[in-house]
Structure 1
Amino acid sequence: MTGFPRYAIYFAAGADNALSRFGAELLGYDSYTGAEVSFPQDALNVAPDWPDVAADPRKYGFHGTLKAPMALASGRTEAELMAACAAFAGKERPIPVIRPVVDAISGFIAVIPAEPVSELQQLAADSVRDFDAFRPPLTVEDRARRKPEKLTERQRDYLDRWGYPYVMEEFRFHMTLTGRLDADRRGPILEMLRDRFAGLKLERLAIDRIALFKQDDAKTHFRIIGEWTLAQSS
Structure 2
Amino acid sequence: MRVAIYFTPPAAAPLARAAGEWLGRDAFHGAATRPADPVIDPLVAGPARYGFHATMRAPFTLAKGFDLAELDESLAGFAAARQAVRLPAIQLARLGRFFALVPSAPSLDLAELEADTVRTFEPFRRAATDAEIAKRRPQDLSERQRTHLRDFGYPFVFEDFRFHMTLTGPVDEAQTETVHALLTDRFAAFEGAALLVDGLALFVEPAPGEPFRVHSLHPFDAR
TM superposition score normalised by structure 2? 0.95
CA drift of 1:103 comes to: 1.1
Q: CA deviation at 1:37?
A: 1.4
1:122 alignment partner in structure 2 = 112
The answer for the alignment partner of 1:68 in structure 2 is: 58
Q: Secondary structure at the match of 1:29?
A: coil
Query: Helix, strand or coil for the counterpart of 1:25?
Result: helix
2:200–2:218 contact (8 Å) kept in structure 1:
yes
Where does the alignment leave 5 or more consecutive residues of structure 1 unmatched? none
Query: 1:207-218 maps to which residues of 2 (within 5 A)?
Result: 207-218=197-208
- Which residue number corresponds to residue 22 of structure 2? 26
- SS for the counterpart of 1:217 is coil
Deviations 1:126-177 (A, max 9, x none): 1111111110012111111111000001100110111100000100111111
1:1-234 counterparts in 2 under 5 A?
5-38=1-34, 48-93=38-83, 95-200=85-190, 203-233=193-223
Say if 2:26 and 2:32, in contact at 8 Å, map to a contact too: yes
Provide closer, same or farther for how the CA distance between residues 157 and 201 of structure 1 changes in structure 2, counting only shifts above 3 A: closer
Deviations 1:52-87 (A, max 9, x none): 110011110001110000111011001100011111
- Asked if 1 retains the 8 angstrom alpha-carbon contact of 2:87 and 2:103, the reply is no
Q: Do the aligned partners of 1:98 and 1:117 also contact (CA within 8 Å) in 2?
A: no
8 Å CA contact 2:91–2:191 kept in 1: the answer is no
- Displacement, 1:14? 0.4
Q: How big is the shift at 1:199? A: 2.9
8 Å contact kept, 2:8–2:201: yes
The answer (yes or no) to whether the contact 1:27–1:39 under 8 Å persists in 2 is no
Aligned residues: 223
Specify the code of the residue in structure 2 equivalent to 1:82.
Answer: D
Change (3 A) 1:65 1:39: farther
Q: Which segments of 5 or more consecutive residues in structure 2 lack a partner in the other structure?
A: none
Structure 1 residue matching 2:147: 3-state secondary structure: helix
Structure 1 consecutive aligned stretches of length 4 or more whose deviation exceeds 6 Å: none
Q: Is the 8 A contact 1:94 1:119 kept in 2?
A: no
- Counterpart amino acid of 1:131? F
Q: Does the Cα contact within 8 Å between 2:84 and 2:199 map onto a contact in 1?
A: no
Query: Kindly, what percent of the aligned residue pairs are identical?
Result: 37
Q: Secondary structure at the match of 2:187?
A: helix
